[in-house]
């Protein structure tokens, strides 16, 4: 049996008022690192209008987690990155009668000395396989990765 050591636990809280369509929520992060954020159904499915959505938060989590995983992978290979720019785009589709997160598109551009595009692509693929957020959504969400060496 594999032993588990808890590295961290993080919290977020939402207060929601009214029904789904007319309602609104306020999201608070336990760390206090981000101010309270408004969230609505319309910000999920129409225009964000300065509000966030679960899909935007998932994309932010995935982009930051993947950047850390790739940085670690490159450093272990002896080629730490000078800079990584990672974007994540989370897609919410209507599947059957309801919404479902169906895809996450990760795009990374890296400045890394001493490797070529093929080596960078391999490191990018390896990092995606060890990224905790990738592993949390794998087999439920299609993950597409595009990696470019600057």
Kindly report, residue by residue over 122-147, the tens digit of the pLDDT. 999 999 999 999 999 999 999 999 99
If you compute the radius of gyration of the chain from its CA atoms, what whole number of angstroms results?
18
Query: What integer pLDDT is reported at residue 15 of this predicted model?
Result: 97
Domain count, the chain: 2
- Regarding beta strands 98-111 and 142-149, do their DSSP bridges make them parallel or antiparallel, or are they unpaired? parallel
Query: Which of 64, 55, 61 lies closest to 108 in space, CA to CA?
Result: 64
2 confidence band (pLDDT: 50, 70, 90): confident
47 confidence band (pLDDT: 50, 70, 90): confident
Query: What integer pLDDT is reported at residue 1 of this predicted model?
Result: 73
* 107/39 same-domain check: no
CATH code, domain carrying 83? 3.30.300.20
* 82/25 same-domain check: no
Cα angle 74, 109, 66; round to 5: 55
* 39/99 same-domain check: no
* 86/136 same-domain check: yes
Tokens describing residue 115: 């490797």
* Residue 19 confidence (pLDDT) above 80: yes
* 96/62 same-domain check: yes
Query: 0.95 cut: is pTM over it?
Result: no
83 confidence band (pLDDT: 50, 70, 90): very high
Domain that holds residue 119: 53-150
Weakest-pLDDT range from 41-45, 59-63, 77-81, 114-118 = 41-45
């Amino acid at each position: 049996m594999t032993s588990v050591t808890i590295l961290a636990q993080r919290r977020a809280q939402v207060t929601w008022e009214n029904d789904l369509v007319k309602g609104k929520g306020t999201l608070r992060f336990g760390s206090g690192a981000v101010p309270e954020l408004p969230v609505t159904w319309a910000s999920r499915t129409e225009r964000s209008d300065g509000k966030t959505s679960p899909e935007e938060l998932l994309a932010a989590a995935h982009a930051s987690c993947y950047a850390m995983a790739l940085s670690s992978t490159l450093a272990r290979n002896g080629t730490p990155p000078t800079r990584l720019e990672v974007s994540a785009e989370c897609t919410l589709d209507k599947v059957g009668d309801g919404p479902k997160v169906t895809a996450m598109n990760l795009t990374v551009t890296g400045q890394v000395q001493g490797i070529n595009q093929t080596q960078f692509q391999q490191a990018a693929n390896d990092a995606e396989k060890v990224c905790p957020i990738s592993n949390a959504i794998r087999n439920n969400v299609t993950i597409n990765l595009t990696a470019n060496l600057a």
